[in-house]
Structure formats: structure tokens, C-alpha cells
Amino acid sequence: RLSLKDGDDSFFALGSGPARALARREPLFQQLSYADSAANAVLVIESGRAPPAKIVAQVAQDCRVKPQDLTIIFAPTQSLAGSTQIVARSLEVALHKTHELHFPLDRIVEGIGAAPLCPPHPDFVTAMGRTNDA
């Protein structure tokens, strides 16, 4: 989660992608004893606008990369790109559930996920409902 409460510059978005593994801010990465390192980082966020500079700087710092080596892709939930990145998390959600059920993740060799790609809708609540149901 990316969030900033700063008057007119307030911002909130959900993020996915390899930058999460670089930052290791979530307890999951410590639980899995997983660490990643790279010279560049990529984060996809569910948002209709670019994140404020403070968020970009914080993400870069958390990933231990320079801001110019961080790529943030943002797409609103109401867009085809937004729907695609949300639905693409189907395998991530399945693995998260597996972990919560205490199944040893090191026994999983590979995975594949599938989910319907819902049509975009201009209304945020309708679009969110469609993507969450996919």
C-alpha cells in the first residue's frame, strides 16, 4: 500500500510487482526468508494519477535504488490496463491463501492462474466490483 496524507497531495494506491520483493516491507518476506536485489525496480499501482514525488522517493529508498532507476506504472481501475493488472494477481491471491493455510510454499514448484478479463467501466465502484469478481 502506498499512502500519503498531505493536504491536497493526499494519495492512496495498491501496488504490485517486483518492487515489493525489493522493499521487503511486508512481514511475508521475512516469513518466507526471501530477499531480492536489483539495480532497477518496477511497481504497478492501481491509481488514476501518478504518485506524488514523496511517495516515489520513499519507494526508491525502500527498494534501495535511485529514483531514476524506479519505474512506476499507474492505471486506473476503470481502464483496460487497470483491469488487466488487477486480474493478473489471480496466482498471487491463490499463493497468499495457500500461505495463510500454512501449506509449505517451498513444495510448490510452479503455478499458473487464470481469470476473466472484465470490460472496463467509467464508474469507479462498478469497475472495482467487476475486477474483484473476476
- The pLDDT, as a whole number, for residue 72 is 97
Please state the domain count of the chain: 2
Task: Please check whether residues 18 and 52 belong to one and the same domain.
Answer: yes
Task: Please check whether residues 70 and 85 belong to one and the same domain.
Answer: no
| The residue to which cell 495457500 is assigned | 98
The residue segments making up the domain with residue 18 are 1-75
pLDDT, tens digit (0-9, with 9 covering 90-100), for 108-125: 999 998 888 989 999 999
Task: Please check whether residues 105 and 67 belong to one and the same domain.
Answer: no
Alpha-carbon distance 59 to 125, whole Å?
Answer: 27
Domain boundary among 57, 75, 93: 75
Contact in structure between 85 and 53 (CB atoms under 8 Å): no
Residue 79, phi then psi, degrees to nearest 5: -100, 165
pLDDT, tens digit (0-9, with 9 covering 90-100), for 27-69: 988 988 888 999 999 999 999 999 999 999 999 999 999 999 9
